[in-house]
Structure 1
Amino acid sequence: MTSRPTKTMTFEKAEEIATDVLLHLVREPELVGRFLAVSGIGPESIRSAATEPGFLAGVLEFMMGDEPLLLAYCENSGLRPTMIAAARFALVGEDHFDV
C-alpha cells in the first residue's frame, strides 16, 4: 500500500490565510460588525488586537462557526474548508485545539 505524502501547514501560511479571512470580514460591514460583537473588540482597537497572540486563530474560529460564511469564503478563495481548520490548528498548536 502506498501512502500519500502529507503536507504540513506552516505557521506563515496559516497567518496568510487568517489575514485574508480578516480582510474578507473587514470588506463587509455586516460581517465585521458581527465579528467585533462576538470578539468584544471595538472598531478602533482592531488593528492593535490583530497583533495579539491568538487573534488570527479567533478570526478563523469565527469563520468556522458560520458554515454558510465558511463555504462561501472557501468557494471564492479556492480553499477547502479543511484548510481553514488546518490554519487554525497551525496558529494555536496541538495543546489548544478543541474538537
Structure 2
Amino acid sequence: MTPDRAETIALEALAWIAADEELLPQLAGATGASLEDARDRVADPAFLAGILEFLTMEDRWIRRFCDDRGLAYDEPMTALMTLPGQMRPEWP
C-alpha cells in the first residue's frame, strides 16, 4: 500500500466516524480532539494514524467501515502500518 492510499483510507475513516452519532463522541473522548482540531490536522500523518488506531480498536467498527467503503477488512490496519512512524515488524 502506498502512503497516499493509506492517507486516503484514513481520511475516509475520519469522514465515516464524523458521520456516526455513536462514534464521533467516542473519538473526541479518546483523543481530546474536536471536529475543528480534526479539520486543522487532516494533513498530519500522525493524526491520521491516530484515526486509524481508533477505528481498529473494535472489530465491529472495522467491519462496518469496510463494508460501507467496499474495502477488505485488513486494509485499515495495513494503512495504519503504512503511515510514517507506524511500521511494526508484525505487519508487512
**Alignment partner of 1:65 is 2:54:** no
1:11 corresponding residue in structure 2: 3
1:81 corresponding residue in structure 2: 73
CA distance in 1, matches of 2:71, 2:40: 28
Query: Are 2:7 and 2:45, in contact at CA under 8 Å, matched by a contact in 1?
Result: no
Task: Return 5+ residue gaps in structure 2 as ranges.
Answer: none
The ranges of structure 1 where at least 4 consecutive aligned residues each deviate by more than 6 angstroms after the TM superposition are none
TM-score by length of 2: 0.84
Greater fraction of residues in helix = 1
How many percent of aligned residue pairs carry the same amino acid? 29
SS of the residue corresponding to residue 40 of structure 2 reads helix
Task: Return 5+ residue gaps in structure 1 as ranges.
Answer: 1-8
Q: Alignment RMSD, CA only?
A: 1.9
Query: Are 2:46 and 2:85, in contact at CA under 8 Å, matched by a contact in 1?
Result: no
Q: How many pairs are equivalent?
A: 90
